[in-house]
Amino acid sequence: MCRTDLHIADGELPRLARPAIPGHEVVGEVIERGARSERFSIGQHVGVPWLGWTCGDCDYCRSGRENLCDSARFTGYHIDGGYAEFALADSRYCFALPEGYAPAEAAPLLCSGLIGYRALAAAGDARTLGIYGFGAAAHIVAQVARFQGRRLFAFTRPGDAEAQRFALSLGAEWAGGSDAAPPEPLDAAILYAPVGALVPAALRAVGKGGTVVCAGIHMSDIPAFPYAILWGERRVVSVANLTRRDGEEFLALAPRVPVRTSVETFPLERANEALARLREGRIGGAAVLIVQEPRATPR
């Protein structure tokens, strides 16, 4: 389960002409293949991510930036997703899963991990890194950042002592509320919380030449802020979607770290309860829906 599912359910993304089945961090077993689909075997477990299809012909696609394709279709939004017993996916956009992960443990890698990894890359070679919003993506990226030798500073909702302890357990050397200043200037900050007011806060937290990465697909409005906190060659960038190359790189890296996902599982029929808890910030790590084995396959 991802905060983007909430943005879709809450109408914060443009509504589509028809209802959509959410879910874009899907781990499933291949039960049927199309006539021209040969990438995966029947019975193999594969991952289905947010990026579900691109045109392949536009300037963005041809230049390795398929994440920006204007015609792109996304799983759980334009294409029915994983909150269901069965899902149909284009095998060209699916991923083989790394060994050593149970399905529930692998699922968060497919968005929290993949887009988190792209956001980390956008932070450049920052040695001191701040993370705002310590949820599903942050708890994965924190492990990668520490593996890369970065120093980690975590920002949570003010007063959320449990999330701060979680961040410290994953290698953060400081954890505090998003209303607090870090003990030293940061080289970069990544915002996983979709709160526009955190952009000026993060700009104040980074030093000259620092980067603030906005990693969400949706964010509340950014308030006006003085030019002085942007000056000094600070910059604000956004991360949009992912590419298949991101997926291949991250899924090869994850078992080397090794990334360990902290998950709380819910049966499919409790999806609304899980979404409500995610909305309220009451999920530690990542929420994962478990679909029971269906009685029959579709025809």
Q: Which CATH number belongs to the domain containing residue 186 in this structure? A: 3.40.50.720
Inform me whether the pLDDT recorded for 17 exceeds 90.
no
Asked if 257 and 232 sit in the same domain, the reply is no
CATH code, 101: 3.90.180.10
Q: Is residue 162 part of a domain?
A: yes
Q: Could you tell me if 129 and 195 lie in one domain? A: yes
Beta-carbon count within 10 A of 44 CB: 13
> What pLDDT was estimated at residue 282?
85
Instruction: Judge whether 298 lies within some domain.
Output: no
Is residue 297 assigned to a domain? no
Residue 118 maps to a domain: no
Same domain (yes/no): 102, 250 = yes
Instruction: Give pTM, 2 decimals.
Output: 0.92
Instruction: Tell me if 100 is assigned to some domain.
Output: yes
**pLDDT tens-digit series, residues 201-230:** 999 999 999 999 999 889 999 999 999 999
Mean pLDDT, rounded, for 266-277: 94
9 within a domain of the structure (yes/no): yes
Please give the pLDDT value at position 299. 53
Same domain, 98 and 50: yes
Do 82 and 228 have their domain in common? Answer: no
Domain span at residue 250?
3-111+242-290
- The per-residue pLDDT for range 46-92, each reduced to its tens digit, is 999 999 999 999 999 999 999 999 999 999 999 999 999 999 999 99
Q: How many domains does the chain have?
A: 2
Q: Are residues 127 and 221 in the same domain?
A: yes
Residue 117 lies in a domain: no
